[in-house]
Structure 1
Amino acid sequence: MAPPQIDRAESDAVLQELRRREDEDDCENFHHYELDAEHRLKNLFWADVDSRLGYLFHGDVVVFDTTYRTNNYGMPFVPFVGLSHHRTPTLFGCGIISDQSLDSCVWLLRVFLTPVHERPKSVITDGGDAVVAAVKIVLPDSNHRICSWHVEQAIEEHLHGASTRNEFRSLMCDACSPAAFEERWYGFMAKHRTAGNQRWLDGMFVHDKFFLGMASDQRAECLATRLHTGLHGAMSLPDLLRHADACAYGLRRDIAALDAEADRSRVELTTGHRRLEESAARWFTPANFYLLREEIKMIDSFEVVEAMARGHPTFGKKVYTVVFRQRRGVLFHVECSAGEAVRCSCRKMEREGLPCRHILCAMRHNGSSRIPDCCALGRMRRRGDTKSERLDEMEELGRQVFDLASEDAHEFKEFLEGWLDDRNAGLRGSGAIDVVDSNAAEDADSVTPEAKKTKLIEG
């Protein structure tokens, strides 16, 4: 049965409101639509400026589902959502399509990418054949997987027997190295692959791909639940637009509140690696810090049994072999390259965006107590907490300066005391204890750590 045709007055009202937003509110707001042969609304996508900015920060993983038919025309409502730096939902835009055909899905994906240009690293979708095919056409270089809820629904169809299904679920959820996963996966395929399920099983092999830890966490994928809650089959298109606006506002309000709370709060340090934990607390939002702290807790269960250099002595790599103390035959290899590039054979950093216990163990072995920049992705960090970032920068710079100053500690101590006296006198004279010249602050921020070090050493 074909869905009812969209009322012309409703579609005109929605399009008129979206045009007004671009003309009057912000020209960076975006919408695009497609009409059918009778000039009635067929497909629609819209994204306001905040959604587009959100995509710039958090658009590396995008989740969307075309299976919700929640309006009086039976048209799928498709919000594009992602995971914020607080691991909460964030909205990138919304679409309404006339059906779940390949043409409609391709149109929607292409329009979604029109105002943002950057392609996501990974996409999580429902399991519809048209959606899967559209992702391959429009995003051939992006990682793609079907969300856990849809995978669970398809298990009954593609795998037979309770033990086979449980073995598959274990494969999808257990944490192990890529090599161990491949061994288990190909063993499973050899036993249970058939002509009917081979294509479906091939789409499940995403163990070492970047999905921010959502590959085995069904709850984390339910990002669009809030946007679908409250929808009903009698809802008009203007009502649907207002509902999406209200949900988007609520999601952004929640993120802003978490930003403010993160800047005010100080997490409790509970591990025996205080300086490393302090560094992580400064860099990361609380939600990501708590995940990383679990890795910090595990450091003492591992040890470095070998460290060897490869390649050029300055620009080459250093490889640490890390062993699990309780099972010494389980080895992991951590590579540290020039420029602080770090990677581990477990590939947790590549999958989830947070450093693993093996990398942290190698850092401890190397005498480092600070999370390197390459292990602190921007999308995991606190927003606006520039003081913490400056403290990290000055702490590292201070170590270098004090190391040099130790050769003549008395002279350097006199220099610091004189500098502090002059600084305090200047502040008292101006009366501006808490006021900072914004231009001077910007200039100070633009100076590189190397230039700061040179200035401190020279004078």
Structure 2
Amino acid sequence: MTASQATEVDLAEESGIPLRLAYKFINKQAGGRESLGYFKQDQKNYLRTVRQKRMAYEEVGVLLQYFSKQILENPSFFYELHLDKEEQITNIFWADAKMIIDYSHFGDVVSFDTTYKVNELDRPFAVFVGFNHHKEIVVFGAALMYDETAASFSWLFKTFLKAMSSKAPRTIFTDQDPVMAKAILEVMPQTYHRLSLWHLMQNACKNLNTLFRGEEGVHNALTTKFDHIEEESEFAAAWYSMLDEYDAHENDWLATTFKIRKKWAYAYVRSAWSIGIRSAQISESFNARLKNYLKSDLNIVQFFTNFERVLTDTRYKEWEAEYDLQFRIAHVKFDIKMLKQAREVYTKAIFKLFQDQFEESIELSITKCVADGDDFVYTVKLDDKSKKHKVKKEGISTVSCNCRLFEMKGILCSHAIKVLREAILNNI
């Protein structure tokens, strides 16, 4: 193989192109196999030799080489190794400059997940992810963990905060792992810890299949409790009614889950900032991407090469969204000044959410208005069967609604929009 052919083979592997397809492409480019000058086995042998050379210093040496190279290219790159009593590496955390910058802008809400496993030992691959202003996934940090003990999680969360200038997230989503919960409470006591509804439902299906007569019965019994009831008293009444209906007062899983209801029940979590997320859906979506890149047979060099491809593809979606925002105007459904102003302020993804709320507000009615000193409290509802919402208007332009959509998501709800528009039309 010539030096240029070797370079082509290296680029193909770094791009994730399988050996068979890479060989076909290169021999097509050369004008046929007879013009290529080497066989597929030669390509395979070359790649094997390269991998062996890269792994000459074993895994630890390769890791240190990789991190040293990253720091040379960008001094803001951060990494830390966790050593055990015998000076053996147990956990590894890293974050590049882009991750740190993204966290400074979008790190209020973080989803942390360790369900994805890498290599033949099923080592947990932990990622801190979130959403940016285009509702696209951003990665804040990553770790390879050799175990999932309280000490390891505690070290990992402390290291994460160290990399992020001690700024803790306002809300963090995780699965229902008590060890992880203990570490979060210890390291980030002011952070609101929320549980992934998807993981909760999976655990419910495992533990309550018999009680609720199959997975469909589990979903029917719990979906409303998990994700819809707004008031705490209403939630408690519905929960105890469910226990009576299924004679489940002695069920240990339900009792344990009820004790931590402030981490998952909508009636409680709606008081915390969450950018509208109700599950660890960001992590689940990111894990789906990882499956296309990271396989269990990768060595440490291949792992980092492929993880960088994941990052590149993930960040490219943000660039696409930025381009779309600059050169394609968001469609406004109604010729209304409020919508036109919102279009100028929001990204397309956020404007769509606002416009949806505006559209809902058109169907609403204000049924009551009560003066409260200099303020006014409005009762807003869709029809006689729908839930009533109270919107308080203070001064000229300050409103708050008991649905708390703005406090959770940062988007004005349809009830508040209805009151604001009414006030504008009536010069109140």
TM-score by length of 1: 0.70
Assess if the C-alpha contact under 8 Å between 1:302 and 1:322 holds in 2.
Answer: no
In 2, are the aligned partners of 1:319 and 1:333 still within 8 Å (CA)? no
Q: CA deviation at 1:9?
A: 2.1
Counterpart Cα distance in 1 of 2:362 and 2:88: 65
* Alignment pair present for 1:268 and 2:351: no
Query: Which runs of no fewer than 5 residues in structure 2 stay unpaired?
Result: 1-54
1:293 alignment partner, one of 340, 355, 360: 355
Q: Distance in 2 between matches of 1:92 and 1:368?
A: 45
State the distance in 2 between where 1:193 and 1:148 align.
22
Matched, 1:226 2:289: yes
Name 1:401's counterpart in structure 2: none
The CA RMSD measured in Å over matched residues stands at 2.9
Residue deviations 1:45-67 (CA, integer Å, cap 9, x gap): 00011001111111111112123
In the alignment, is residue 21 of structure 1 matched against residue 77 of structure 2?
no
8 Å contact kept, 1:332–1:345: yes
CA apart distance, 1:213: 2.4
Q: Does structure 1 residue 170 correspond to structure 2 residue 207?
A: no
**Please, which runs of 5 or more residues in structure 1 have no aligned partner?**
1-5, 370-459
Q: Return the alpha-carbon distance in structure 1 between the equivalents of residues 350 and 56 of structure 2.
A: 46
The answer on 1:41 being equivalent to 2:92 is: no
Q: How does 1:380-395 map to 2 (within 5 A)?
A: none
What do the CA deviations read for 1:25-79 (whole angstroms, capped 9, x no partner)? 2222111111233333211100011001111111111112123221244321111
Tell me: CA distance 1:325–1:248, structure 2 relative to 1, closer, same or farther (3 Å). closer
Q: Answer yes or no: is 1:124 the counterpart of 2:124.
A: no
Partner of residue 344, structure 2: 282
The SS at the match of 1:335 is: strand
Partner in structure 2 of residue 443 of structure 1:
none
Distance, in Å, in 2 between the alignment partners of 1:219 and 1:98 is 24
Q: Is the CA contact 1:281–1:289 (under 8 Å) kept in the aligned structure 2? A: yes
Instruction: Name the CA distance, whole Å, in 2 between partners of 1:104 and 1:177.
Output: 37
The Cα offsets for residues 231-263 of structure 1, whole Å up to 9 and x where unpaired, read as: 222222222222222211221121012012112
Deviations 1:401-431 (A, max 9, x none): xxxxxxxxxxxxxxxxxxxxxxxxxxxxxxx
Cα pair distance change 1:178/1:335, threshold 3 Å: farther
Match of 1:258 in 2: 321
Is residue 14–residue 237 contact of structure 1 (8 Å, CA) maintained in 2?
yes
Aligned residues: 357
The more displaced of 359-368 and 320-329 is 320-329
Consecutive aligned runs of 4 or more in structure 1 exceeding 6 Å deviation: none
Residue aligning to 1:92: 140
Residue aligning to 2:418: 361
**Identity percentage of aligned residues:** 22
Shift, 1:325, TM fit = 4.2
Partner amino acid for 1:153? Answer: Q
Query: What do residues 272-328 of structure 1 show as CA deviations (whole Å, max 9, x unaligned)?
Result: x622221222222212222222211111222334445545x5xxxx34323214127
Is the 2:367–2:380 Cα contact (8 Å) retained in structure 1? yes
Q: Is the 8 A contact 1:322 1:361 kept in 2?
A: no
Query: Of residues 408, 411, 423 in structure 2, which corresponds to 1:351?
Result: 408
Partner of 1:196: 252
- Any conservation in 2 of the 1:21–1:29 contact (CA below 8 Å)? yes
Which is worse superposed, 129-138 or 95-104? 129-138
2:306 to 243, 253, 261: 243
Distance in 2, matches of 1:49 and 1:186, equals: 50
What is the letter of the counterpart of residue 304 of structure 1? I
